């Protein structure tokens, strides 16, 4: 890989991860300036030449929407500065829960954001654990869809749990949980839930046997933690010996910290696709920087990335 042929830049809120990625790539983080006006409007400018270079723009689009707007302006600035290719590296792709019309007269936010990124000028998307795999089809450019399982599965194996059982807190996550259980050669259970409204869980039932099992709940994200803490409590009520939880994206909106702290969950593990600024002692993060760095290296060397996938 020729380190002179590409540059890595970061938006404001994902700089912590971009710095790790650059360290793993043994390259400097590009110089980007964001200037703010008094009313909150901002302008993005590259402070070094990117003409003819492959640029990788690292920015998750977690709330607030300034993160997405920063990314769009970075893409536009790179296009107007004659970058050879523009690669959006979005560890957490926001609005991904809006992947279909689940009731009349609603937007499909994930498709809208995909269209905005394409219109801005990206040539490739590198992301991780989309809410639904089929969202890759919302893009008309190549999508390298990475999986947190690459770093999560070795961690689970390191726990050496005696009676391991993988669980999904909802039926929608059954495919992910099944893949984990098959790889780890252990049983799987599901939780069937109904929602009263967004972020509010109604009823929940367990499908499967959890008595005397060491449960690991697997999900793609934790927002208010209502679903995952309710599932954990239900597992303990039905005789589980211990419950841990793992999710790719650490959204953790209020009152998630309080819910997890008060729940029977022994440990709540996330990747660092989103920074965690809370104070829950049960929360732990593991980094995906090496995975993204290796993907960037393989893109630049025109190598397959499929060997990175454990499942």
By DSSP bridging, strand 164-168 and strand 85-90 are: unpaired
CA angle 11, 150, 222 (to 5 degrees): 60
CA–CA gap between residue 206 and residue 193 (Å, rounded): 9
- Can you read off the two tokens belonging to residue 185? 């050669």
- Can you read off the two tokens belonging to residue 210? 């959890």
CA–CA gap between residue 16 and residue 173 (Å, rounded): 29
CA–CA gap between residue 246 and residue 233 (Å, rounded): 15
State how far the alpha carbon of 285 is from the alpha carbons of 161, 249, 282, in Å: 19, 10, 10
Query: Who's near 151: CB < 8 A, 6+ residues apart?
Result: 271, 286, 287, 288, 291
- Can you read off the two tokens belonging to residue 125? 């998307």
DSSP letter (8 states) at residue 86: E
101 in Cβ contact with 70 (< 8 Å): no
CA dihedral 83, 87, 91, 96 (to 10 degrees): 120
Matching residue, tokens 């939880």: 245
The β-bridge partners of 216 are: 166, 244
Give the active site residues: 193
By DSSP bridging, strand 268-271 and strand 242-250 are: parallel
Query: Who's near 103: CB < 8 A, 6+ residues apart?
Result: none
- Can you read off the two tokens belonging to residue 230? 């309710």
- Can you read off the two tokens belonging to residue 161? 């749990």
CA–CA gap between residue 189 and residue 306 (Å, rounded): 28
């Amino acid at each position: 890989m020729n380190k002179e042929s590409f540059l890595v830049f970061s938006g404001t809120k994902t700089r912590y991860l971009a710095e790790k990625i650059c360290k793993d790539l043994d390259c400097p983080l590009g110089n980007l300036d964001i200037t703010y006006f008094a009313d909150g409007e901002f302008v993005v400018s590259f402070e070094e030449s990117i003409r003819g270079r492959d640029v990788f723009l690292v920015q998750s689009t977690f709330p607030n929407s300034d993160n997405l707007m920063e990314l769009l302006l970075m893409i536009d600035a790179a296009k107007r500065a004659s970058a050879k290719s523009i690669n959006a590296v979005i560890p957490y792709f926001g609005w991904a829960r809006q992947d279909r019309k689940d009731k009349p007269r609603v937007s499909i936010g994930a498709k809208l954001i995909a269209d905005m990124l394409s219109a801005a000028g990206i040539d490739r998307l590198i992301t991780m654990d989309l809410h639904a795999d089929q969202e890759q089809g919302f893009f008309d450019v190549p999508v390298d869809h990475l999986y947190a399982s690459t770093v999560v599965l070795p961690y689970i194996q390191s726990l050496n749990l005696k009676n391991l059982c993988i669980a999904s807190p909802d039926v929608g996550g059954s495919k992910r949980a099944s893949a984990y259980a098959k790889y780890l050669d252990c049983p799987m259970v599901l939780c069937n839930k109904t929602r009263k409204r967004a972020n509010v869980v109604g009823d929940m039932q367990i499908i499967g046997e959890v008595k005397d099992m060491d449960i690991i709940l697997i999900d793609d994200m934790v927002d208010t933690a209502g679903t995952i803490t309710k599932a954990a409590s239900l597992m303990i009520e039905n005789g589980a010996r211990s419950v841990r939880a793992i999710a790719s994206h650490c959204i953790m909106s209020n009152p998630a910290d309080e819910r997890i702290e008060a729940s029977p969950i022994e440990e709540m593990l996330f990747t660092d696709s989103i920074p965690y600024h809370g104070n829950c002692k049960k929360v732990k993060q593991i980094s995906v920087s090496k995975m993204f760095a290796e993907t960037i290296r393989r893109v630049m060397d025109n190598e397959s990335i499929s060997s990175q996938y454990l499942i």
